[in-house]
Amino acid sequence: MSPSFDLQLDSARYKPGDGVAGTVLVREGGRSRSLEVLLDYVEETDDYLEVAISIPSGRLHEGNLEAGASFRFEVVLPPDGLPNFNSRHGQLYWRVDVKSDERGRDSHERRRIAVDS
């Protein structure tokens, strides 16, 4: 069985240079090699999605995950980080990506965050 997560963030809005902090709650446990949080800057259009920047938290946990476990994290937005941007041609946005490294397909819980200049 693959792990699943609830992501709780300490804030709803951020500015460049802010720390993005929160807690990862393990809803369903399962096999995992490690758990980490990534702060991604994503470029997306109708037919394209690329992570332009990915800032890792470092490993929050190594080994299998138990239901009910929780892990605190903080990842800092770059001081020169660009704000989110939407146009009719595409979007640029920041997201928090909880990633469980597993054999085969990794488990993720992703959430966009609001970043203003």
pTM of this structure: 0.92
| Four-point Cα dihedral 4, 106, 77, 71, nearest 10 | 40
What DSSP line would sit under 2-66, residue for residue? --EEEEEES-SEE-TT-EEEEEEEEEE-B--SEEEEEEEEEEEETTEEEEEEEEEEEEEEES-B-
Instruction: List the chain domain ranges.
Output: 4-39+53-77+95-106
Per residue in 83-117, pLDDT (tens digit) is 999 999 999 999 999 999 999 999 999 999 999 98
Is-contact 75 20, C-beta < 8 A? Answer: yes
| pLDDT tens figures, 19-51 | 999 999 999 999 999 999 999 999 999 999 999
Residue 31: per-residue pLDDT: 96
